[in-house]
Structure 1
Amino acid sequence: MNDDFLTGDVHLAIYGPDRFSKATPFAENGYLFTVPGTFPEDTPAHTNVVNQEMAVYRTKDDPDEWEVRDVDGDRRVWSTAGSRREAIGLAFLEIARRRRIDAARVAEKRKAAGLEPIPPYRVEIIDSVTLVLAPTKTAVLERVQPAEGETSACYRVRDVGGGEPYEIRTDEAVWHTVTTGILHERCGHDPDDARRFENEPEALIYAKHGLTRFWVCTELPSAADELFTVDGSHYGPYPARPAPDTWNAYEPISVTREVAERIAHDLNTLNAGCGLSAEWNGADLVFTWDQRYRHDNGTEAVTPGTDGRYLIGGLWPWMRWADRD
């Protein structure tokens, strides 16, 4: 899990009284930071949103309290806390929770519409370069230098092999953009910035006409993840490999390291004091419980398999996210 917000590694930009009008709920002085649209990383790329600018500041009514609001949306309060760092961390946690729920709702709507959990065809652009073609030279465009006074407009370029930049007059050359990409079909790749399609003809039209050249991904198709939660809770949803029809709630689910980290974090923070906790010992996830949770004390270590995934289950009942009330 990307936990920069928990370690304080968030870029903050100071703002002053000229940033917001007095009619807004923001304090005159504070800090701005950005929540990436790709956060949290365990949500499918096709549910990503635009980057969200946030403000954190001391509240007007209580200078010892910090508040976080989004700047460009509803300006809702995402968190309040006694320190700036804690307020930012709680805001990230709440945003992650809501985005995961939104992603799960998108999955449910796709299922109801008879669509696959994620768009099965994805066209990823891996490289794009603009070439300047002159009668005796082919170069890579850096920028277009507009005309100034008696100086003609020109292309600022470099040789294909590198070297120092130089200029070619715009009336002596033309430019051409070369774009290459990969067509993914039901594979394990889900690039954040890919174009997504529900069927092959639409994907091929875009790949053939939108790209100069493309290749088809050779990775074998993989089964789409299911979403799970802890029965009777609001935790998750946690993506895991699909469970068989004979699966029951106390059998394990197969999750990635990233999802295992989320499960451990939610257990330790959202269910603290229940008598069950989790901690990492190298690559192993170790669960420890006392008599508050079970009739005796005990531990269980979950070791990743050869595929790097973790089988977690037996300590509480799972439930498919789609089956909750």
Structure 2
Amino acid sequence: MPDQLRISENTEETIESSPSIGEDAPSGKDCRFVVLIPSVRPAEASRLIERMDWPGAVIVGASGATPVDSFEIPEREALRVRIESVPIGYASARNALLDIARKAGYSHGIFVDDDIEFVSGGLSELLRTARRFPEAFVGGKVRRRVENQGALARNVLPGSFALAGTSPASLSANVLVLPLSVESTETRFSVLLDFTGGEDTELTRRAGRQGVALLQTEDIIAEEVYGSTRGSTHALVRRLICNHAVLGLIRDRRTENLVLASRAVNPSRVGGLLYHSAAIAATLSARFSPSLALSLAKAAGYGLAKLQLLPTRLNKRYETCSVEFLGGSR
């Protein structure tokens, strides 16, 4: 983790000299912020930009085969939007956006998922927190709304998540989804997690181990909406298995090795069968006992991690990829 992310020892100077929202003039810590939106859904990204109260620069990453010209950009004074093609994969898309932002002279990227709906003044509060602590990892407090309000959804997707004052080692699996966060453009996400997700939680663990402060906004600043498909029991079970497989790898290996000395290799048929069977068993058990479903998903995820297998989450197929560690120590 770059030294630029460590907590500032001169916070007051930063607060007093920080420019107002949207300005690109450097603050006391020479901070310049840009909104980064990785997206494969042009309509949602365009709607997010139209509703954002952000008079500044936005870079949208059209991931994979998503056409750049499929995004409709609203015309608004002071809003500067740039559409760039980025690789497919959760981590690779984020890394590409950070590289583009850094080369454009920005010190920090504000990552925003395209299904976010900001409350009034929410983005301003996130920016104020990031300006106050420019060397911390800052998350935005988000309320999650699920159209399918089943028992499992209530257990898996709480109203908000907490980062402040929490040890990185004890952060819950729910924090694997950080729809709003601010980090240095020098940050790198683990490409091993391209097809599983969890790259943001891996980053928080790595940051915490290196003494980086993990903070969040004081108030809920946005809402994330889970539709009936994404919030279904089966989809949530699959997410939980992926989450705990990632957590298992992080727990069993030094995090630095997970980022720098590992790669995903050929899909495993046996792993895919285990993943598929565990997802079905946990989904069926959720009808009778949500707590049992959660336990089964957790055990399945940790079991796959022990076998050095990672489930994929970018498509609807139930596959796992083997993880090959290229060196380093446990």
TM-score range, shorter chain: under 0.3
TM-score w.r.t. length of structure 1: 0.23
Greater per-residue strand proportion: 1
Flag the structure with more relative contact order, 1 or 2, with Cα contacts below 8 A and sequence separation at least 6.
Answer: 2
Greater per-residue helix proportion: 2
**Larger gyration radius, structure 1 or structure 2:** 1
TM-score w.r.t. length of structure 2: 0.23
